């Protein structure tokens, strides 16, 4: 395969002079594979939410950028992520979401693993009816665990295993939202939906970061949430996004609202924030609800957005929840033609990555700058290893 090398020097220029990422970063399978390592596997990326496995033994097979993984809640209630393969012949262990009652049995030769990943049975490994062999050391052949961490119910994974500790890598954003370090309750089946979008995952991040598009793409916001009511959020190398100063709570026909997250402070009465935590998690928080969007890259030009809504109490009003889900679904669907249009635009060969409004687009440029830096670091490491 021919290596595609893109010139990223202009991406890392000051926002006034910078170009966006070249087309190849949105359409070229070689660059997609490069970014898989540089941006997704080497970082703390979003895989799923813990609410996907609510009870001990719940197991969900997932494909993360081509890598077969198993999300499972073990017998003690801890959420874990394993590579979804048997250590014997690399067979896929779990094909469909299901409850693991006892052990995970490989369907090929029936090697068995506990929900904590320990290899507990190796039938006939030493011959018929001989279930041990000196060469097969069970304590060395447990499932391959992928580093994971739960924050805001998102299951973050670091496939390469060498990213800084999660608490260090995410310390700034955790500090920013420290007042919201409270229990989050997933709204349940009416508070999750997916959007399948014909776009590169990065365009979903880029659109989410900035408020510039709001009055044009989401005109419904103009009546109360004007462009000037928004502010930029930028933490170079980690996250960017936008905030609003005029958040208005949803009410039902009786004027009732969702209960607030307790003690988050007056500052958040009318303030809300929307942050893209690099690489692929979009978070939003408000006084009375929150959401998480996991962007699942499915190829250079296809992304599945997994949207989950959370509340401060486990038994929030169902009618309000459904109304809130519909409200957000409408907003996110309004963005689809934009990210799909930009994706198709990346096939215009003379496009130079575009330019940024120095005033309005800096959160998006912050993301481009991060991408370029990570890709260049990855290339330098690959070159040094040659």
CB nearer another protein, residue 110 or residue 198: 110
Instruction: Please enumerate in sequence order all residues whose Cβ is within 8 A of that of 326, keeping only pairs 6 or more positions apart, or say none.
Output: none
CB nearer another protein, residue 128 or residue 255: 128
Among 121, 227, 331, 336, binds another protein (CB under 8 A): 121
Contact call for residues 106 and 121 (beta carbons, < 8 A): no
Question: Is 120 an interacting residue with respect to another protein (CB under 8 A)?
Answer: yes
Dist. CA 112–CA 301, nearest whole Å: 38
Give the x/- contact pattern for another protein in 248-287, rule: CB under 8 A.
Answer: ----------------------------------------
Dist. CA 279–CA 302, nearest whole Å: 16
> Minimal distance in Å, beta carbon 72 to another protein?
14
Task: Candidates 66-74, 122-130, 189-197, 336-344: pick the segment binding another protein (CB under 8 A).
Answer: 122-130
Question: Is 377 an interacting residue with respect to another protein (CB under 8 A)?
Answer: no
> Minimal distance in Å, beta carbon 130 to another protein?
6
> Minimal distance in Å, beta carbon 122 to another protein?
9
Two tokens, residue 221 = 């916001």
Among 129, 140, 168, 178, binds another protein (CB under 8 A): 129
Nearest to 159 by CA among 74, 60, 83: 83
Residues 73-102 that bind another protein (CB under 8 A): 100-102
Task: Candidates 121-129, 151-159, 165-173, 351-359: pick the segment binding another protein (CB under 8 A).
Answer: 121-129
Among 4, 10, 37, 110, binds another protein (CB under 8 A): 110
CB nearer another protein, residue 76 or residue 386: 76
Among 96, 128, 175, 254, binds another protein (CB under 8 A): 128
Contact call for residues 286 and 253 (beta carbons, < 8 A): no
Query: Which residues sit at the interface with another protein, rule CB under 8 A?
Result: 100-105, 110, 112, 120-121, 123-124, 128-132, 138
């Amino acid at each position: 395969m021919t290596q595609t090398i893109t010139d990223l020097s202009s991406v890392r220029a000051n926002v006034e002079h910078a170009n966006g990422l070249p087309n190849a970063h949105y359409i070229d399978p070689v660059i997609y594979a490069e970014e898989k390592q540089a941006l997704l596997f080497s970082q703390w990326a979003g895989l799923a939410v813990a609410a996907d496995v609510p009870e001990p033994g719940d197991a969900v097979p997932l494909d993360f950028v081509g890598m077969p993984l198993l999300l499972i809640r073990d017998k003690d209630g801890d959420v874990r992520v394993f590579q979804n393969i048997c250590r014997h012949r690399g067979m896929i262990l779990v094909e469909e979401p299901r409850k693991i009652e006892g052990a995970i049995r490989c369907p090929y030769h029936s090697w068995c693993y506990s929900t904590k990943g320990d290899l507990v049975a190796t039938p006939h490994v030493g011959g018929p009816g001989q279930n041990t062999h000196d060469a097969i050391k069970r304590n060395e052949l447990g499932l391959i665990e992928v580093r994971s961490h739960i924050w805001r119910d998102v299951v973050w994974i670091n496939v390469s295993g060498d990213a800084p500790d999660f608490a260090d890598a995410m310390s700034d954003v955790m500090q920013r939202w420290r007042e919201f370090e409270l229990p989050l309750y997933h709204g349940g089946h009416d508070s999750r939906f997916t959007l399948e979008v014909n776009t590169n995952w990065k365009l979903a991040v880029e659109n989410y970061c900035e408020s510039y598009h709001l009055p044009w793409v989401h005109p419904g916001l103009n009546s109360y949430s004007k462009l000037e009511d928004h502010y930029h959020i930028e933490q170079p190398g980690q996250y960017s996004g936008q905030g609003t100063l005029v958040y208005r709570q949803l009410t039902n026909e009786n004027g009732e609202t969702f209960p607030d997250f307790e003690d988050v402070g007056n500052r958040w009465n009318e303030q809300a924030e929307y942050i893209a935590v690099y690489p692929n998690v979009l978070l939003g928080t408000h006084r009375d609800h929150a959401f998480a969007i996991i962007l699942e890259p499915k190829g250079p030009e296809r992304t599945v957005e997994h949207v989950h809504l959370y509340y401060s109490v486990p038994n929030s009003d169902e009618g309000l929840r459904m109304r809130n889900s519909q409200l957000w679904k409408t907003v996110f669907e309004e963005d689809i033609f934009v990210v799909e249009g930009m994706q198709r635009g990346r096939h215009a060969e003379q496009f130079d990555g575009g330019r940024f409004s120095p005033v309005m687009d800096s959160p998006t440029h912050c993301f481009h700058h991060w991408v370029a830096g990570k890709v260049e670091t990855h290339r330098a490491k690959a070159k040094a290893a040659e």
